[in-house]
């Protein structure tokens, strides 16, 4: 596992930080735009988190499909090369930092507790459906890549 030495771990950590920052920016920018247009007392649909989770699923689906197509498996023997490490940084680092199960659950529970039960259920269904669709689309897009 030479590539997973200090430089490899640093690459994955930096990729995770990038994904987390991107998630934060998506959520803040979309939430701010929603709050500007909303009337007082209106509940805000967690669109930023939905988009971040969907993008993460697209990225993970594409990365996993690309890795499989190039014979890169998810075991340590395949991760000691730079292509394997880059896929790992993209999928686990950026994808892991970008996605957020905990914030998804907090948003859904908050909507439910505030009385916006239909919005909570629709948000949960949309998140699961969009995540599955994005993962499949990512795999399809990766299969179309020429390299």
Annotated binding residues for Na(+), written as ranges, equal 96, 99
- Beta-carbon contacts of 45 under 8 Å, excluding residues fewer than 6 positions away, are 34, 119, 123
Distance CA 104, CA 130 (A): 13
8 A C-beta contact, residue 27 and residue 53: no
How far apart CA 141 and CA 32 sit, in angstroms, is 31
Cα(84)–Cα(10) distance, rounded to whole angstroms?
A: 15
Cα distance between residue 127 and residue 5, in whole Å? 35
Residue ranges for the known binding site are 96, 99
């Amino acid at each position: 596992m030479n590539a997973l030495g200090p430089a490899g771990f640093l690459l994955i950590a930096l990729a995770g930080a990038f994904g987390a920052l991107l998630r934060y920016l998506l959520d803040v920018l979309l939430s701010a735009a929603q709050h500007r247009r909303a009337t007082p007392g209106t509940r805000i649909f967690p669109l930023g988190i939905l988009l971040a989770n969907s993008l993460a699923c697209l990225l993970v689906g594409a990365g996993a499909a690309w890795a499989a197509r190039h014979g890169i498996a998810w075991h340590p023997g395949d991760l000691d090369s730079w292509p394997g490490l880059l896929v790992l940084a993209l999928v686990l680092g950026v994808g892991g930092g970008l996605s957020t199960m905990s914030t998804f659950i907090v948003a859904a529970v908050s909507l439910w507790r505030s009385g916006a039960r239909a919005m909570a259920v629709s948000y949960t269904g949309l998140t699961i459906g969009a995540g599955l669709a994005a993962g499949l689309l990512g795999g399809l897009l990766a299969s179309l890549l020429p390299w």
